[in-house]
Structure 1
Amino acid sequence: MPATPLTAEVLCALERIGCPVSTPDLMRWLNRDRSTPLVIDQVYRALDALRARGEVQRLKATNNKRIRYWTIAGASAACRCGATQQGAS
């Protein structure tokens, strides 16, 4: 699947943030300079497409199993946010 402008933008944002981030927080980051804001479903679909290609990985918080974080695949765990890798996601 070829990269779309949104998946490329999402991947770039994750690289710039440099730490696991939730989908809503990533959406807020991406919407900072937009005239037409993205909705959460658009961001999640882009993240899911990147996950399917192996470019990002989904993490979950150790203290709240409902919260999911996203990070670049293979990124070091230098952050202290409490996220851990979620199996084969």
Structure 2
Amino acid sequence: LPSPMTFITATVPPVQQGNTLVWNLSDLPAESLPVEITLELMVPISLTQGLAVNHNLVVTTTSAEGNLGNNLAAFEQLIVFRMFLPLLRSLAGPGVG
């Protein structure tokens, strides 16, 4: 996890070790379908809007593997803020309420 973010939940629960999340997925058969994991992270309000946060993902195995080049991924997330500002409108006519 990037240091300013806090882990909330994931579709497959990990073990958290400091800022590292670890998933033990046991044996996956060769040519198996991808494993998809969705994370929910909390971003502190103190982060500057427009800040780019880097995420790094690494997959390891205890088995022999011929292609280690596809075990790394990295992406950059742009921090943007959305605000909920409800519009309040009176439904009463003139002189009512």
Q: TM-score by structure 2 length?
A: 0.22
Q: Which has the higher helix share?
A: 1
Higher relative contact order (CA 8 A, sep 6+): 1
TM-score between the two structures when normalised by the length of structure 1: 0.23
Specify which structure has the higher proportion of strand.
2
Largest Rg, 1 or 2: 2
